[in-house]
Amino acid sequence: MSTTSPAGPVTPAIVSRLPSVGTTVFTHMSMLAAQHGAVNLGQGFPDFACDARLVDAVTEAMRAGFNQYPMMTGVPALRQAIAAKIAATYGRQYDADTEITVTAGATQALTTAILCCVHPGDEVIIIEPAYDSYLPTVELAGGVPVLVQMTLTDACYAIPWDRIAAAVTPKTRLLVINTPHNPTGTVLRQADIDALSAIVQGTGILILADEVYEHMVYDGARHESMSRHAVLAARSFVVSSFGKTFHVTGWKIGYVAAPAPLMAEFRKVHQYNVFSTNAPMQHGIAAYMADPRPWRELPDFYQRKRDLFRTGLAASRFELLPADGTYFQCVRYGAISDLPEVAFAEWLAAEIKVAAIPVAPFYRGGVESRVVRFCFAKQDDTLRLALDRLARV
């Protein structure tokens, strides 16, 4: 029976599944950047074009008629290209038919992985600061988030593995790992891998590895993918993103690699929350991947931008934290202002005309460290304009 009032029909109330979720800080800061004409170094997307050859490959796929539903698991040629890239890069052989699935971006992959393995009451360890999709997805699955904060010393952020180990209980189902890490720019090293392996070995704990910045690791270091390490690969959903790797974030194409038993469960959920992913883009990316240079050259490409940005900030009052991976640079601003992080970022956008992202919202409790994050995945001229403005702070 419909409900009416003197003013007309009334929309029934709905009890929110995510009552604590509102407008994201990324949306808020991008709106402020537009409002104030600020250089947007907030949200993580490039302001430069992708390779024209990739656009041509997708266009050719469209003209060739690849415009209907592809296979639910992904175009075979793309899955084969992904398996070959992982084998060549990390030495792990995944079966393209049973262990690789193409997704509608990495966030869908992360969501699907959580939904397929987390049951009500299961505990999921999330390391903060954390990418903002992890926690609400765990809650949608009925899981219990167990939050462990990274340490922030005078030098850097680091994962406190002793506290991770202490957080494990018989109810722990999943541990979310993000390397290279957004927002801090840290990367896992061999010592981290050893600690993680010791924690999970002999348990039923699964790992969700968010590795979307896998090809953005600097200073000669290697990316410690879960795929490299047998103990970890055997229990991991490894997620990556063509949007990040090929500068096409708006295409929303990602993928997951996992052992066949895990992938079988992943696909059960995948087929109902997205079914399949943009067909011509899959065919175009598969053709483009015949040349490995675009991802092999990516560390040098972004390291140059990182160094340009860090050099430009070195004489400022911002305190640079290490940026070992991703395309983000975190800075402390304690020498500049006592404002809380969101307020400082708002002031920076309005008065200095440069938009940044406060790190506090990456914690459930909004932990204040007087740190903001800049994105350096921008044209050099964009970075220089931002640096000119930041030098006045």
Question: What is the per-residue burial (b if ≥16 Cβ within 10 Å, else e) of 96-131?
Answer: bebbbbbbbbbbbbbbbbbbbbbeeebbbbbbbbbb
Residue 363 and residue 231 in one domain:
no
Instruction: Give domain status of residue 347, yes or no.
Output: yes
CA distances from 254 to 109, 250, 276 (A): 7, 11, 12
Instruction: Give domain status of residue 1, yes or no.
Output: no
Instruction: Give domain status of residue 2, yes or no.
Output: no
Q: What is the pLDDT of residue 1?
A: 47
Taking alpha carbons only, the member of 59, 192, 186 closest to residue 130 is: 186
Instruction: Give domain status of residue 194, yes or no.
Output: yes
Residue 99 and residue 162 in one domain:
yes
Q: What is the pLDDT of residues 129-147, one digit of tens each?
A: 999 999 999 999 999 999 9
Residue 66 and residue 85 in one domain:
yes
* E-assigned strand segments in 224-325: 236-241, 254-257, 319-320
Please state, for a pLDDT cut of 70, what percent of the chain lies above it.
99
Q: What phi and psi, each to the nearest 5 degrees, are found at residue 192?
A: -65, -45
Residue that finishes a domain, picked among 238, 262, 291: 291
| Distance between CA atoms of residues 336 and 393, nearest Å | 7
Q: What is the pLDDT of residues 101-129, one digit of tens each?
A: 999 999 999 999 999 999 999 999 999 99
Instruction: Give domain status of residue 169, yes or no.
Output: yes
pTM, 2 dp: 0.96
CA distances from 145 to 18, 118, 132, 204 (A): 14, 11, 13, 17
- Sequence-distant (6+) residues with CB within 8 A of 27 are none
Among all chains, which residue has been given the structure tokens 């200073």?
219
Instruction: Give domain status of residue 13, yes or no.
Output: no
- Inter-residue contact 85 to 298 (CB < 8 Å): no
**CATH number of residue 151's parent domain:** 3.40.640.10
**CATH number of residue 357's parent domain:** 3.90.1150.10
Q: What is the mean pLDDT of residues 63-77?
A: 98
Q: What is the pLDDT of residues 288-335, one digit of tens each?
A: 999 999 999 999 999 999 999 999 999 899 999 999 999 999 999 999
Instruction: Give domain status of residue 326, yes or no.
Output: yes
Q: What is the pLDDT of residues 223-264, one digit of tens each?
A: 999 999 999 999 999 999 999 999 999 999 999 999 999 999
Residue 69 tokens, joined? 């539903």
Residue 208 and residue 72 in one domain:
yes
**Backbone φ/ψ region at 267: left (φ over 0), alpha (ψ -120 to 50), beta:** alpha
Residue 285 and residue 319 in one domain:
no
| Reported confidence tier of residue 154, pLDDT bands at 50, 70, 90 | confident
Residue 351 domain boundaries = 18-44+296-390
The tally of CA atoms less than 13 A away on the side-chain side of residue 90 is 22
Residue 112 and residue 259 in one domain:
yes
Residue 172 and residue 320 in one domain:
no
Instruction: Give domain status of residue 4, yes or no.
Output: no
Residue 185 tokens, joined? 């720019």
Q: What is the pLDDT of residues 339-348, one digit of tens each?
A: 999 999 999 9
Taking alpha carbons only, the member of 329, 276, 298 closest to residue 213 is: 298
Q: What is the mean pLDDT of residues 369-378?
A: 97
Residue 71 and residue 166 in one domain:
yes
Residue that finishes a domain, picked among 255, 276, 291: 291
Q: Tabulate helix, strand, coil % of the chain (nearest 5).
A: 40, 15, 40
Q: What is the pLDDT of residue 4?
A: 60
Residue 207 and residue 308 in one domain:
no
Q: What is the pLDDT of residue 21?
A: 87
Radius of gyration of the chain (CA): 22
Residue 216 and residue 307 in one domain:
no
Residue 94 and residue 224 in one domain:
yes
| Domain total of the chain | 2
Residue 285 and residue 224 in one domain:
yes
Say how far residue 48 (Cα) sits from the centre of its chain: 20
Q: What is the pLDDT of residue 23?
A: 81
| Reported confidence tier of residue 3, pLDDT bands at 50, 70, 90 | low
Q: What is the pLDDT of residue 24?
A: 87
| Distance between CA atoms of residues 77 and 288, nearest Å | 11
CA distances from 320 to 79, 333, 335, 372, 374 (A): 39, 9, 12, 10, 11
Residue that finishes a domain, picked among 228, 258, 291: 291
